[in-house]
C-alpha cells in the first residue's frame, strides 16, 4: 500500500502566514507580532536582554524569576539588575543544562524554587538560555499555580529561530524526547544577537539547520538567499543574519498562528510541516544518547527524509541534491557514519506524530512546498537511515 499524502499548497500556506504575522521595524530592532488562540506574543528581533525586565514590569508582574543555566547566569544577572532598578523583585534560578537534564526531577526542583521565591499567579517567568532551559522553564511556567506568564530570552541561534517560538514545552522520558509537556505560548520573546558572540561555531551552526528547514518548507526566496549568503551566514555577518532570523521567525510564527496545537488533520499551514527532518533527527538523538546535537541531527534528518521523499516519488532528485548542498555549505552534516540504523528506526517508532502504528513524516514535495505523508514504509525509512550510517551515497 502506498503512503497517503496531504499537500500544503505553497501559495496558500505563505498567504495565511502573512495574514497572521505583522512585522514592524524601528531602527535596528524588528518586532514580529504573532497571534494565537490565547493572546498576542511580541517577538523583538535585535533587542537587548534587559528589555525582558521592562516587559515583565509592563505586564504588572508581582515578581519575576529568571531561570538560566551556568553559562547564561551573567545574562540572567543583567536582567535581575534591570528588574531591580525598575522596582521589580527578580529571583535568579540556575538549573543544569543539557538534554540529560530535561527531566521530571529538574521540573520538581524548579517548582520548589518558585515556591521558595514566593511566586504567585501574577508573577512572570523569564527563561534565559537555549532550548533546554526554554523547554523546561516553559513547562514549569505552564504548570506552576496552573500557569504563570512567560517571557523567553533565547541565547542560542537554535533557540532564537525554533524553541522559543511556538509554545512547545516539555521534558524527556527514557523512551523518547518531549513525551511530557504542554503547549504554552510566551507573552514575549527578546532576541539579542550579542548573546551569540561567545558561542563556539559548532553551537551556532545548530540554528542554521532550523533556518534551512524553514526555507525548505515555506520560502523558495529564503532558500535562495541562504544559498547566496552561506559564507556570510557562517561568518555571522550581522545584516544577513538578522534578516534571515527575522524571516525564519515569521515563517514559524505564521504557521503557529494557523495551527497552534499541531492538528491531527494536515492542512495548508499545518504545524506538522515544522517536523521536516525531525523524525529521523529525533531518532538519531535518542540512538546516539544525545551525542549528536539537535541541529546536526535535524540536518542529517533532512538529508535522509529527502531520500525517502525521492523514493516515494514525491520529490525530484535535483531538489534533494540542492537541499543537501545548502546544508553542507552552512557547515552542517548530512550523514551519521557508524550510527545503528535499527536503533534510530526503533526510536522513530515512538514519535508523537505517528498514528495507528505507522510512520508519519513531513516531507518536501518541492523547495518551499511541504507534504504530510502517512504510512511511510518502514523498509524505505530503514534503507535511507542505513545510507546515512554509511556516510551518505
Confidence at residue 9, expressed as pLDDT on a 0 to 100 scale: 45
Cell of residue 68, nine digits = 538560566
Strands 29-35 and 21-26: antiparallel
Query: In this prediction, what percent of the chain has a pLDDT beyond 70?
Result: 86
DSSP H helices, 219-293, are: 220-228, 230-234, 238-258, 278-287
Confidence at residue 176, expressed as pLDDT on a 0 to 100 scale: 80
Quick one: average pLDDT of 292-321? Answer: 97
Confidence at residue 20, expressed as pLDDT on a 0 to 100 scale: 33
58 dihedral zone (left: phi>0; alpha: psi -120 to 50; beta) = alpha
Confidence at residue 256, expressed as pLDDT on a 0 to 100 scale: 85
pLDDT(26) > 50: no
Confidence at residue 226, expressed as pLDDT on a 0 to 100 scale: 98
Quick one: average pLDDT of 31-46? Answer: 72
Tens digits of per-residue pLDDT, 251-265? 998 888 887 877 665
DSSP H helices, 294-335, are: 294-311, 317-329
> Which residues have a catalytic role annotated?
146, 168, 210, 252, 262, 271, 275, 278, 282, 294
> C-alpha angle with apex 321: 343 to 311, nearest 5 degrees?
55
pLDDT(385) > 70: yes
Provide the CATH topology of domain 48-191. Answer: Rossmann fold (3.40.50)
Rank 112-121, 253-262, 383-392 by mean pLDDT and report only the highest. 112-121
Residue in 181, 166, 134 with CA at minimum distance from that of residue 153: 134
Provide the CATH topology of domain 4-14+202-389. Answer: Dehydroquinate synthase-like, alpha domain (1.20.1090)
- Yes or no: say if 235 and 267 are a contact pair by the CB < 8 Å rule: no
Tens digits of per-residue pLDDT, 137-190? 999 999 999 999 999 999 999 999 999 998 999 999 988 888 999 999 999 999
End-to-end Cα separation, the chain, in angstroms:
27
| Rounded Cα–Cα distance for residues 309 and 321 (Å) | 12
Tens digits of per-residue pLDDT, 87-115? 999 999 999 999 999 999 999 999 999 99
Q: How many helices (H) and strands (E) does the chain have?
A: 15, 13
Confidence at residue 4, expressed as pLDDT on a 0 to 100 scale: 60
Confidence at residue 251, expressed as pLDDT on a 0 to 100 scale: 93
Q: Is the pTM of this model over 0.85?
A: yes
| Rounded Cα–Cα distance for residues 211 and 322 (Å) | 15
| Rounded Cα–Cα distance for residues 133 and 102 (Å) | 8
User: Could you tell me the residue ranges of all domains in the chain?
Assistant: 4-14+202-389, 48-191
DSSP notation for 91-137 = EEEE---SGGG-SHHHHHHHHHHHHHTT--TT-EEEEEESHHHHHHH
Confidence at residue 83, expressed as pLDDT on a 0 to 100 scale: 98
DSSP state of 195: G
Indicate if 48-191 has the same CATH topology as 4-14+202-389.
no
The pLDDT mean for the chain works out to 89
Quick one: average pLDDT of 186-196? Answer: 95
Higher pLDDT, 353 or 329: 329
Confidence at residue 29, expressed as pLDDT on a 0 to 100 scale: 56
Report CA dihedral (98, 275, 348, 127) to the nearest 10 degrees.
20
Q: pLDDT band at residue 50, thresholds of 50, 70 and 90?
A: very high
| Rounded Cα–Cα distance for residues 330 and 258 (Å) | 30
pLDDT(8) > 60: no
Confidence at residue 175, expressed as pLDDT on a 0 to 100 scale: 80
Confidence at residue 267, expressed as pLDDT on a 0 to 100 scale: 54
In a 10 Å sphere around its CB, with 0-12 CB exposed, 13-18 middle and 19+ buried, how is residue 190 labelled?
A: buried
- Yes or no: say if 39 and 243 are a contact pair by the CB < 8 Å rule: no
Amino acid at each position: 500500500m502506498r503512503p497517503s499524502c496531504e499537500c500544503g499548497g505553497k501559495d496558500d500556506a505563505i498567504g495565511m502566514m502573512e495574514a497572521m504575522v505583522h512585522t514592524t521595524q524601528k531602527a535596528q530592532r524588528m518586532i514580529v507580532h504573532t497571534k494565537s488562540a490565547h493572546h498576542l506574543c511580541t517577538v523583538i528581533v535585535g533587542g537587548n536582554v534587559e528589555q525582558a525586565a521592562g516587559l515583565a514590569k509592563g505586564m504588572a508582574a508581582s515578581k519575576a524569576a529568571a531561570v538560566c543555566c551556568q553559562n547564561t547566569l551573567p545574562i540572567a544577572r543583567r536582567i535581575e539588575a534591570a528588574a531591580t532598578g525598575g522596582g521589580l523583585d527578580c529571583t535568579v534560578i540556575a538549573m543544569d543544562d543539557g538534554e540529560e537534564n530535561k527531566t521530571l526531577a529538574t521540573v520538581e526542583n524548579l517548582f520548589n524554587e518558585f515556591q521558595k521565591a514566593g511566586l504567585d499567579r501574577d508573577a512572570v517567568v523569564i527563561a534565559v538560555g537555549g532550548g533546554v532551559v526554554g523547554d523546561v522553564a516553559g513547562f514549569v511556567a505552564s504548570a506552576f499555580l496552573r500557569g504563570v506568564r512567560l517571557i523567553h530570552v533565547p541565547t542560542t541561534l537554535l533557540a532564537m529561530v525554533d524553541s522559543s517560538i511556538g509554545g512547545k514545552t516539555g521534558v524527556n522520558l527514557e523512551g523518547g524526547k518531549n513525551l511530557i509537556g504542554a503547549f504554552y505560548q510566551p507573552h514575549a520573546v527578546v532576541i539579542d544577537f550579542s548573546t551569540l558572540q561567545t558561542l563556539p561555531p559548532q553551537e551556532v551552526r545548530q540554528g542554521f539547520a532550523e533556518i534551512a528547514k524553514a526555507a525548505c518548507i515555506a520560502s523558495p526566496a529564503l532558500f535562495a538567499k541562504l544559498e547566496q549568503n552561506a559564507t556570510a551566514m557562517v561568518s555571522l555577518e550581522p545584516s544577513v543574519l538578522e534578516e534571515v532570523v527575522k524571516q525564519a521567525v515569521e515563517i514559524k510564527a505564521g504557521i503557529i498562528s494557523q495551527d497552534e496545537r499541531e492538528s491531527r488533520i494536515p492542512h495548508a499551514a499545518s504545524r506538522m510541516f515544522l517536523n521536516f527532518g525531525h523524525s529521523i533527527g529525533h531518532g538519531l538523538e535518542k540512538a546516539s544518547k544525545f551525542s549528536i546535537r539537535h541541529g546536526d541531527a535535524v540536518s542529517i534528518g533532512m538529508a535522509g527524509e529527502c531520500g525517502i521523499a525521492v523514493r516515494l516519488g514525491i520529490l525530484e532528485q535535483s531538489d534533494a541534491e540542492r537541499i543537501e548542498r545548502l546544508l553542507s555549505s552552512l557547515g552542517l552534516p548530512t550523514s551519521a557514519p557508524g550510527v545503528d540504523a535499527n536503533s534510530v528506526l526503533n526510536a522513530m517508532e515512538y514519535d508523537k506524530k505517528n498514528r495507528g502504528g505507522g510512520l508519519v513524516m513531513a516531507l518536501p514535495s518541492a523547495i518551499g512546498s511541504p507534504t504530510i505523508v502517512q504510512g511511510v514504509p518502514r523498509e524505505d525509512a530503514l534503507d535511507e537511515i542505513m545510507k546515512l550510517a554509511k556516510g551518505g551515497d
